[in-house]
Structure 1
């Protein structure tokens, strides 16, 4: 197995050579064997072990075992302890999800603090098949059926082509000891049910199950690549990127063979889960919105507008005191006194300082707001101005107004200056305000 792994890395994972690697080690057979293999191959490795305090004395014995292994192989060993059950209760998560989140957050910190290049985990071919079957029972799409990726960002799984039996054989032949987690024998969890009750039957039906499954996943990945190529082509035809929004042309989308399937592929990375609601948005009235954990999808006339969710900490208004030269919240503005005006545009205005009454105020627009747009005669309701500019509901919601202390609108930020504040030949003091 040592030579096989060396060949596999040379041909498929050559970027690991000479890099600083961190192995996620539990003390179980898989991660212990990975550690011995890479140590024998002279890779630059360190160990990272999490004590989740979920199995009493057993958890402490796992930790002691990993520390001793690190000492024996002369490897840097990082160990941390978590109060996993308390964290899970506080964050309303299952124990498994809580442990995963704690583990990977800590790994990320170690990688950043100690400049590791890659995190290695000891997932193997049986894990791959188990994950496929779990996802299959949950009704996963093609992404879920392609299983565990060998490379996922800075996470690499060098043992993914090897079976559980390969690992066990190597451990026994080389007198390698490891810690056995007794919970792995329990069928309480779905993965263990599949491992102990379903896989033995499937392997009895097909003794070469892992090999045929590897071919199946390869075919699925090839199909997935074809889909991704097609989605890139469709995106060029129906998506418009506009400032902080992505606009999806509904008319063009509905001309495709399966609009719902295309919509899923276009939006799957934005954390939406209620896909029927997303699809129903195509025929919904303007103003209807769907939310994911991170994004908002809004129906507005002929388009779906996708945008990042505003942070819950975002303020509805902000005051700007006299002599302020820059603000970063709720938007990034720079204010400076100038002698001469340069080119004026939607991102930069010049105002007569004499007409300003501090503190200025940044706020969202409200029904009844009006201003005196430059280049026009008289006043105009902001709602009518937005309609004339054909702004979407999302664009209206994200528009800020810069107002005088008496609430007179100075600037519809990013769109139009108010006539009352523009500079004239009599202006002696000019303030430049620019969006950064």
Structure 2
């Protein structure tokens, strides 16, 4: 690697970086230090961000000192922070490596927001890419996991991915660049290091051009992934619709595809489901069956699979909201307006008119319960809320999102946004007319 070669590479492939404010993630190791020197010489607008994970005692502190001295020598800004990584990992029940990764990237993004950095640059190189490929292959992965580390991912940019570890090492040696050695990189207790020090050298004995061969294969896999992405976008538009924040997957159209299970995985892989057999079996399950993660629930509802974000702080778990006579508006959990009016106008599902003197205050806004019933407008007699929901063909998600406005004697005034209870209708004897609206 030469400065001119790197300059040509970055001008051709990363021209958008030239006038931007860049934050380099720097550990003090050879890769990130070389990236810093290269961009500094090319006069890019760079700053450094270093995390002290406090995992190697005095060595971690010396890494931090090294970064501060480097920033002074190059007259560039350095941001440093310290983390109690092991404590954090224990609290979140993560491996030390995953905990460090989360801490690192969360902090990088905080810096970009606070100081208006355009991009975060990391020093991943071609050998890192090969290692990641082998790790994913070992653990089991789909096509996406075999495409390696992305060159650009949101604000993360990796300008060194085209260069090998050997090229970076040679550049550092020829230019007398100093860096910090991390002794833990030589240990083989971590999977990545085992692959780096034991597996890859053996593979290179079989094929001295292993890195070049992998780079070509990776490019082909990325092209294949793009074809898959294009097809999934086409299928998505054909079989998925959205209704009030709920994604609806049309089951009859899904099962007509050549491989419904594979398509379902591609459509839902970003939603963190892990029990994919259970997800697939929902297609043929009874209505009401569901599979959930911490963030999402997938529900079988007649002819559709419904995907909804799961919020553990959902209003369905709230205590009833109390509404006093003097309240003219509430904004949580929904927006309701209460207006004293003189004349009744045309009503719709978002507004009703009631005889205010028939209300028993305070009112309450709550979720439905088994046994609830009301006297629906336009119908004869009373009906259980559960039967009304069934007749309206509401999904489980729809039911969970519906609120009941009730009088203090627990009589239902309004299935909000759906149907009014006729017991509170205004009559010719009404003296106080109240309009309730969403």
Contact map agreement 1:151 1:157 (CA 8 A) in 2: yes
Equivalent residue runs for 1:180-199 within 5 Å: 180-199=181-200
- Residues 180 and 371 of structure 1: is their aligned pair in 2 closer, same or farther, counting only changes over 3 Å? same
Question: 61-70 vs 275-284, which deviates more?
Answer: 275-284
Distance (Å, rounded) in 2 between the aligned partners of 1:428 and 1:128: 77
Equivalent residue runs for 1:230-379 within 5 Å: 230-312=231-313, 314=315, 315-316=317-318, 317-338=320-341, 344-379=347-382
Tell me, which stretches of 5 or more residues in structure 1 are unaligned? Answer: none
Distance (Å, rounded) in 1 between the aligned partners of 2:321 and 2:395: 24
- Offset of 1:339 from its aligned partner? 5.1
Distance (Å, rounded) in 2 between the aligned partners of 1:178 and 1:412: 68
Equivalent residue runs for 1:85-100 within 5 Å: 85-100=86-101
C-alpha offsets along residues 149-196 of structure 1, whole Å, 9 cap, x if unaligned? Answer: 111111111111111111111111111000000000000000001111
Matched, 1:160 2:123: no
Question: 392-401 vs 52-61, which deviates more?
Answer: 392-401
Report the aligned-residue RMSD: 1.8
Match in the other structure for 1:118: 119
Question: Match of 2:177, SS?
Answer: coil
C-alpha offsets along residues 289-329 of structure 1, whole Å, 9 cap, x if unaligned? Answer: 11112100111222211100023364333222333344343
- Residues 325 and 81 of structure 1: is their aligned pair in 2 closer, same or farther, counting only changes over 3 Å? farther
Distance (Å, rounded) in 1 between the aligned partners of 2:364 and 2:355: 16
Match in the other structure for 2:35: 34
- Residues 297 and 68 of structure 1: is their aligned pair in 2 closer, same or farther, counting only changes over 3 Å? same
Match in the other structure for 2:420: 417
Tell me, which stretches of 5 or more residues in structure 2 are unaligned? Answer: none
Distance (Å, rounded) in 2 between the aligned partners of 1:335 and 1:73: 65
- Residues 367 and 207 of structure 1: is their aligned pair in 2 closer, same or farther, counting only changes over 3 Å? same
Aligned length: 435
- Residues 115 and 356 of structure 1: is their aligned pair in 2 closer, same or farther, counting only changes over 3 Å? farther
Question: 299-308 vs 346-355, which deviates more?
Answer: 346-355
Match in the other structure for 1:404: 407
- Offset of 1:282 from its aligned partner? 1.5
Distance (Å, rounded) in 1 between the aligned partners of 2:213 and 2:340: 72
- Offset of 1:209 from its aligned partner? 1.9
Matched, 1:395 2:392: no
Matched, 1:384 2:381: no
- Offset of 1:343 from its aligned partner? 5.0
Equivalent residue runs for 1:122-161 within 5 Å: 122-161=123-162
- Offset of 1:373 from its aligned partner? 1.8
Matched, 1:49 2:50: yes
C-alpha offsets along residues 377-399 of structure 1, whole Å, 9 cap, x if unaligned? Answer: 33222122112211112212222
C-alpha offsets along residues 324-348 of structure 1, whole Å, 9 cap, x if unaligned? Answer: 3443433343444455556533233
Distance (Å, rounded) in 1 between the aligned partners of 2:435 and 2:34: 65
Distance (Å, rounded) in 2 between the aligned partners of 1:73 and 1:328: 54
- Residues 268 and 328 of structure 1: is their aligned pair in 2 closer, same or farther, counting only changes over 3 Å? farther
Question: Match of 1:176, SS?
Answer: coil
- Per the normalisation by structure 1, the TM-score is 0.95
Question: 246-255 vs 328-337, which deviates more?
Answer: 328-337
- Offset of 1:94 from its aligned partner? 1.2
